[in-house]
Structure 1
Amino acid sequence: MARIECLDGLRGIAALWVLVGHCMILTGFFLPILGQPDLGVDLFIYLSGFLMVFQYDLRKSREDWRKPDVWMGFWVRRFFRLSPVYFLLLTVALLAGRAMYADRVLIDTFVGAPLQMPERYIDASAANFLMHLTYAFGLVPGYSYRTPLPDWSLGLEMQFYAAFPFVVLFARRIGWLAAASCVAMLAVGAVVALKAMQIAFPMPSFLALKMHMFLAGMLIAAAGKQKVPYLLLAMGLAAIPIGGQRDVLHLVVRELLLIIVFGLIHWRSTSLFDRASAVLGSPPFHWLGELSYGVYLIHLLILHAVAAWAIARWGHGISSAVRFLPCFRDRGACRLCRCVRNVFAARTAGPEARKEAARHVFPAPACGANAGGGDRCPLISR
């Protein structure tokens, strides 16, 4: 089995979950679970852990993972999988940062949220740019949450890729259950040490904070005929109270997500999971999965301006639920689809076409905090 179709749908749902959650945060509207975008990121992490082991199993007959050149090939593939679109949008985000920060101040003031640190938006320094180009930002608290993009998880992902060959070799030596347990204990020990040294990350961008979640996803792929021990250990790992919110709701949802992913992979013989898998592998969900990475990266660039536009135009004249609808459905969704299309088209185009695509991502000046009553919804100022 070289491809599991339902994974496209799961990726798309995870991206949509993050998008909806951020729409709610930026409009002051809230629904339980849907208004928690961090849970969508946790689903992404499960899927990432699963896919890396799944791909390893497909390749292990022709690749000797004891050789460093195999590790290097893996790292190069993963780097170029993530980086082209990310570097393009990183450049746009840093250039647009001041306009986005003006929008965010307007939004947070209106909805009564604490103001964001300005450095997250306005630091376009060479040092910040270099830290993100090298993906080293996730290791340094002061740089781990310092762009308008939700890219803290990309630094986390790259750290996971760096560690993955060593986890695989360890698992080959002592078995997946023992290896996952040992690596999780090392991660927890690292988190305890960070706390003792009073080192805190604004987001869980350091691998030790989320390694237990990656390991849970890896165990889904590693489960053989004896599935129950793998599922039970994965659930135990997902319940470790580090690297995110620790309330009962988050714990329950994380466990349910893990069971659902496990069931879609291993319990296809049951009618419920078979029908769900077929739906998630259908063309609309496949399309959503293909767009998921671009949607995840670009959506905050769009939503800041759309939410600021809705606030500037209607203010308290509409409820937060009504304000959420144009941000998510009309202007936000339509512009988001156009932007993702342009960005992905630029990946295979020449230099001039890439410049043109980047220009069309942000075609008009921003209204943001300076907006009047007009109905335009541009994104950045010239």
Structure 2
Amino acid sequence: MQPAKKWSQELEGLRGLASLWVVLGHICVLTSFHFPILSDPAIGVDLFILLSGYLMAKNYVERKEKEPWTSSATFKKFWLRRFFRIAPLYYVLLILAIVFGSYFGEARDVIGHFYSETQTNSSRYSDSSFLNVFTHVTFIFGFLPSYSFNTVLPDWSIGLEMQFYFLFPFIMLAVMKLGFVRACFAVIVLCALAKYLTPNYFAAFPMPSMILIKLHLFIAGMFIAEAIRRMSMWYVFFAVIAALASIGIYMQNDVRASHILAQVGMILMMATILWPRKAGSNTENTLRFPRWLLTNKLSVYMGDVSYSVYLLHLLIVIPVVAFLLSNTNFAEFSAVTRFIFASAIILPITYGIATLLYKYIEKPGIKLGKNVIARSETKNNRPVVID
């Protein structure tokens, strides 16, 4: 069965939802406002991970005829696309995070002074050592517990994403040899085995920045893509099983049931929203409104700028909340009022700057990547002239 080569705008809405979830989650945390699910930004990151696994599998399968999975050129194109999608904006904001790290650390201490439950080791923000910079520029920091959570940026997940991109073509080679289900579950078993053999290494990470801790969730996203391509609910079931592997693989022993349930809920939501329906059917009519919520102009815009919003937001949230606490009677407000007031200031600033970053850094970076790939293809296809 040939996959339908159609871009689903719902994906943009889901990415926009994921980034907004993370921003609001961090505002909840830093204003000491506790609201079920929303105040856990890690769940928003998990939605990003599921979407990444889905998109990589979907696009890789759709390009199979033009870009054979066994070709080294396919590996190169894939890695170049992903690098230029992620790296340009990341490097720009990494410079700001390193240069102004002490400022962000002081702002974070202010927040910790008012809300001790949010206190963190703010000295990690001001680490401008060669090793910290080098490991972040090369994206290897995600493998090193001491550097994996060592800037003001939420870049632990960026390193995680780059690790997934590196492994993904090899996973697809395994799919060719073993079949989709066997290959994917074999990867999950290897992750669980690694956790069993090196428990101290897994436990040393302050955030799940090392790929083996979260690879099963990327795999769950891949299963969703295959479920929709094959129109098979079995693959949705496999995606749920993959998510449940969090119980055995995640670095903490006390994995919250609410987090696992949220992952399962997001898998079922994605499958429901993205599943092809016959026009005019009852199911199509039932999903019309939620699909509209994800495909209207505002949702698509939020999806476009979602990466910029995600990477930027803590550079806005932390200083704004610290300023409000230091210079106003913000701390005396009720928790819900603090959350609403801070959000009303932070969201317009974040989305405004993110729009500029998307236009002037993200899009040119993507274009540069396409040009690099095109030049490489031209060079490789150049006829050899024999004198």
TM, length-normalised to structure 1: 0.87
Structure 1 segments of 4+ aligned residues over 6 angstroms from their partners: none
Of 20, 24, 30 in structure 2, the residue corresponding to residue 16 of structure 1 is 20
8 Å contact 2:105–2:123 — kept in the other structure? Answer: no
CA shift digits 1:221-242 (9 cap, x unpaired): 1124461221111101101113
Sort the Cα spacing of 1:344 and 1:267 in 2 relative to 1 into closer, same or farther, 3 A. closer
- Name the counterpart of 2:250: 243
- Name the counterpart of 1:359: none
User: How far 1:339 moved relative to its partner?
Assistant: 1.6
Counterparts of 1:145-156 in structure 2, within 5 Å, are 145-156=149-160
Partner SS, residue 305 of structure 2: helix
Of 239, 243, 247 in structure 2, the residue corresponding to residue 234 of structure 1 is 239
**Would you say 1:59 and 2:87 are equivalent positions?**
no
Sort the Cα spacing of 1:172 and 1:275 in 2 relative to 1 into closer, same or farther, 3 A. farther
Q: Structure 2: 5+ residue runs without aligned partners?
A: 365-387
- Name the counterpart of 1:257: 266
> 2 CA distance for matches of 1:152 and 1:233?
27
Taking only aligned residues, the RMSD between alpha carbons, in angstroms, comes to 1.8
Partner SS, residue 75 of structure 1: helix
8 Å contact 2:141–2:148 — kept in the other structure? Answer: yes
8 Å contact 2:149–2:207 — kept in the other structure? Answer: yes
- Name the counterpart of 2:318: 304
User: How far 1:278 moved relative to its partner?
Assistant: 3.3
Of 7, 10, 29 in structure 1, the residue corresponding to residue 11 of structure 2 is 7
- Name the counterpart of 1:369: none
**Would you say 1:276 and 2:280 are equivalent positions?**
no
Of 177, 190, 193 in structure 2, the residue corresponding to residue 173 of structure 1 is 177
Partner SS, residue 113 of structure 1: helix
Aligned amino acid, residue 321 of structure 1: V
- Name the counterpart of 1:106: 110
Of 293, 311, 314 in structure 1, the residue corresponding to residue 307 of structure 2 is 293
- Name the counterpart of 2:133: 129
Aligned amino acid, residue 83 of structure 1: A
User: How far 1:156 moved relative to its partner?
Assistant: 0.4
Query: Greater shift after overlay, 232-241 or 259-268?
Result: 259-268
User: How far 1:315 moved relative to its partner?
Assistant: 4.5
Sort the Cα spacing of 1:211 and 1:172 in 2 relative to 1 into closer, same or farther, 3 A. same
**Would you say 1:85 and 2:89 are equivalent positions?**
yes
> 1 CA distance for matches of 2:181 and 2:289?
30
Higher RCO (CA-CA < 8 Å; seq separation 6+): 2
Sort the Cα spacing of 1:50 and 1:134 in 2 relative to 1 into closer, same or farther, 3 A. same
> 2 CA distance for matches of 1:85 and 1:137?
17
Sort the Cα spacing of 1:197 and 1:314 in 2 relative to 1 into closer, same or farther, 3 A. closer
User: How far 1:196 moved relative to its partner?
Assistant: 5.0
Q: Structure 1: 5+ residue runs without aligned partners?
A: 351-382
8 Å contact 2:29–2:118 — kept in the other structure? Answer: no
Aligned amino acid, residue 28 of structure 1: S
8 Å contact 2:109–2:122 — kept in the other structure? Answer: no
CA shift digits 1:15-56 (9 cap, x unpaired): 000000000111111100000100000000000000001111
> 2 CA distance for matches of 1:13 and 1:195?
34
Aligned amino acid, residue 206 of structure 2: P
> 1 CA distance for matches of 2:305 and 2:231?
35
Aligned amino acid, residue 60 of structure 1: K
> 2 CA distance for matches of 1:118 and 1:40?
23
Aligned amino acid, residue 219 of structure 2: L
Sort the Cα spacing of 1:347 and 1:274 in 2 relative to 1 into closer, same or farther, 3 A. same
Sort the Cα spacing of 1:268 and 1:41 in 2 relative to 1 into closer, same or farther, 3 A. farther
CA shift digits 1:263-322 (9 cap, x unpaired): 122253423334422331221110010010000000000000111122111154212221
% same residue: 35
Aligned amino acid, residue 208 of structure 1: L
User: How far 1:349 moved relative to its partner?
Assistant: 10
8 Å contact 1:267–1:273 — kept in the other structure? Answer: no
8 Å contact 1:150–1:300 — kept in the other structure? Answer: yes
> 1 CA distance for matches of 2:150 and 2:329?
31
- Name the counterpart of 1:203: 207
Count of residue correspondences: 349
> 2 CA distance for matches of 1:160 and 1:132?
16
**Would you say 1:75 and 2:79 are equivalent positions?**
yes
> 2 CA distance for matches of 1:178 and 1:68?
24
> 1 CA distance for matches of 2:363 and 2:236?
44
Aligned amino acid, residue 340 of structure 2: L
Of 340, 345, 360 in structure 2, the residue corresponding to residue 346 of structure 1 is 360
User: How far 1:111 moved relative to its partner?
Assistant: 1.1
- Name the counterpart of 1:333: 347
Counterparts of 1:360-375 in structure 2, within 5 Å, are none
Query: Greater shift after overlay, 32-41 or 192-201?
Result: 192-201
